[in-house]
Structure 1
Amino acid sequence: MTEDLRISMIQSHIIWEDREENLGYYGELLRRVSGRTDLAVLPETFTTGFSMDVEKQADTMDGRTVPTIKEWAKKYKLAVAGSFIAKDNGKFYNRAFFITPEGEEYYYDKRHLFRMAGEDKHFSAGDKRLIVPYKGWNICLQVCYDLRFPVWSRNVNNEYDLLIYVANWPEARKKAWKTLLHARAIENMAYVCGVNRVGVDGKGFLFRGDSMIYNAKGKKLADAGKREEITRTCTLKKSELDEFRAKFPAWKDADGFSIDF
């Protein structure tokens, strides 16, 4: 029988361009949810903030970040998802991760780079989606600006059950964040979880959080609220999702399409 999934949204500030401080801080936040969740989701670029100084801020796959996350997952017996600035084969990526307590590692490189901040000038874009099998669930992991592009997240034949966005989404565009999370849940007939940071970054941008979870019908199940450092945990029920998809199989009438890169 498929398990219910307890998911925790870690809505917090990020210390600007300070990997060690952030690793210490988020490690403590994860310790606090140990035993009470199956999956903890951190904001985008949680070790540095949304920095374009990739030469100084990037970490390699065998550096400090990935081994630390693996240690958290094993020690606290939970999966951890988020993103960090990665250097791999001479290129830089906004790399999302999903690491399980058993040490399984999954990675996704952000496809849509935020040109308004110059992300496309400093990072390389990914070209492969990620769907992670975990506790009987299929989980799709995407990053921030990806939210604006529904074709990239289209849930063909119910490939995934839960869609996660990790973000540094400024308060100035809060309406888009809320509206698009809601839409992605309804159109893809899946749970959607969006985790955003709070506070002010090194460039002066304000982030208000609004981390939230919707079910496939578009009902809000959890909301971390605005401008507050907080962890919200919600239990997702696969049986309810399966029942809804069976009773209202709109996914069977979806249009076929292909994506050109």
Structure 2
Amino acid sequence: MKQKFIAAAVQMVSGTDVAANLATAARLVAEAAAAGARFVVLPEYFCLMGRQDGDKVAISEEAGQGPMQAALATMARDNKLWLAAGTIPLRCPEPGKVFNSTLVFDPAGQQVARYDKIHLFGYTGNGERYCESDSIQAGSSPVKVDIGLAEVACGICYDLRFPELFRQLAPFDVMILPAAFTATTGEAHWEVLLRARAIENQCYVIASGQGGTHENGRKTHGQSMIIDPWGRILAQQALGEGVVLAEIDPALLHSVRSGLPALAHRVL
């Protein structure tokens, strides 16, 4: 059986300055490492919450090269930890669009996995409008990665509403969800959906969110949290930047799955 380890969900209130956001991320990752974290998850759009959709296209990088990816590799290597690097914009074939991608780095700073967000958020109401498909090309492949400490299923923000994505990947030990949930939808659905995914997949969930009012006027829900396989919230933070820490215990995973073998009872 694998050993216990400390995981961290980093919460940010990212702005429009990429360099400043990278510096904040580096500081918070180092803080998590100092607290004993061996696996750290950054939030969606940690590198930029732009004033308009085109801003992320303008800073996008080719996969495998660029200052943002180099900075993330350095964070993982300098702190000797596994890093799920929130999301960054990577170039895609369609003009004017990018992939919204989570990159996973090992403690040597090598990229070991990439997940491109599959489900693209769209919402209109309460004076708000969001349409990610205007500037993002959807990914097509679910991703599960073995980070040595645990098997990790990748999701990003709006993916949370599509349990069939994670069912394709089950079983796994940990589900990650970098996010920038809106204040409106987050207040209504964030916690209940995260706990449902943990319960039905009998896994830990590490949800790292944007949490506050951003320079561009957008308000995000925050409430980054780590949830255990029984659906219990182990740690969380409401708003503002910070680090949420909790222990991932393989013995608890085994206990939950052996006592209530729901995954083994799956029929469909």
Normalised by the length of structure 1, the TM-score is 0.91
CA distance in 2 between counterparts of 1:250 and 1:208 reads 31
Among 230, 235, 252, which residue is 2:242 paired with? 230
202-211 vs 192-201, greater mean Cα deviation: 202-211
Residues 14 and 201, structure 1, Cα contact 8 Å, conserved in 2: yes
CA distance in 2 between counterparts of 1:237 and 1:166 reads 21
- Which residue does the alignment assign to 1:259? none
CA distance in 1 between counterparts of 2:118 and 2:111 reads 22
Give 1:104 shift.
3.9
Instruction: Give the letter aligned to residue 84 of structure 1.
Output: I
SS of the residue corresponding to residue 212 of structure 1 reads: strand
CA distance in 1 between counterparts of 2:121 and 2:202 reads 27
Q: 1:92-241 alignment to 2 at 5 Å? A: 92-102=98-108, 103-116=110-123, 117-154=130-167, 158-173=170-185, 174-224=187-237, 226-241=238-253
CA distance in 1 between counterparts of 2:69 and 2:111 reads 12
Normalised by the length of structure 2, the TM-score is 0.88
What does the per-residue CA deviation read over 1:149-177, in whole Å, with 9 as the maximum and x for residues that have no partner? 11111166x43111111000122122201
Instruction: Give the letter aligned to residue 102 of structure 2.
Output: A
SS of the residue corresponding to residue 220 of structure 2 reads: strand
SS of the residue corresponding to residue 147 of structure 1 reads: helix
CA distance in 2 between counterparts of 1:122 and 1:228 reads 27
SS of the residue corresponding to residue 154 of structure 1 reads: helix
Residues 3 and 135, structure 1, Cα contact 8 Å, conserved in 2: no
Instruction: Give the letter aligned to residue 134 of structure 1.
Output: I
Residues 46 and 84, structure 1, Cα contact 8 Å, conserved in 2: yes
Q: Give structure 1 stretches of 5+ with no counterpart.
A: 257-261
Q: Give structure 2 stretches of 5+ with no counterpart.
A: 124-129
CA change 1:141–1:86 in 2 (3 A) is: same
SS of the residue corresponding to residue 47 of structure 1 reads: coil
Give 1:204 shift.
1.8
- Which residue does the alignment assign to 1:60? 62
Q: Does residue 85 in structure 1 map to residue 80 in structure 2?
A: no
Instruction: Give the letter aligned to residue 3 of structure 1.
Output: Q
Instruction: Give the letter aligned to residue 3 of structure 2.
Output: E
Instruction: Give the letter aligned to residue 87 of structure 1.
Output: R
Residues 211 and 223, structure 1, Cα contact 8 Å, conserved in 2: yes
Give 1:202 shift.
4.4
What does the per-residue CA deviation read over 1:9-33, in whole Å, with 9 as the maximum and x for residues that have no partner? 11121012x2111111211222222
Aligned length: 253
What does the per-residue CA deviation read over 1:202-239, in whole Å, with 9 as the maximum and x for residues that have no partner? 44221231111111111111112x22322121111011
What fraction of aligned residue pairs are identical, expressed as a percent? Answer: 26
Give 1:59 shift.
2.4
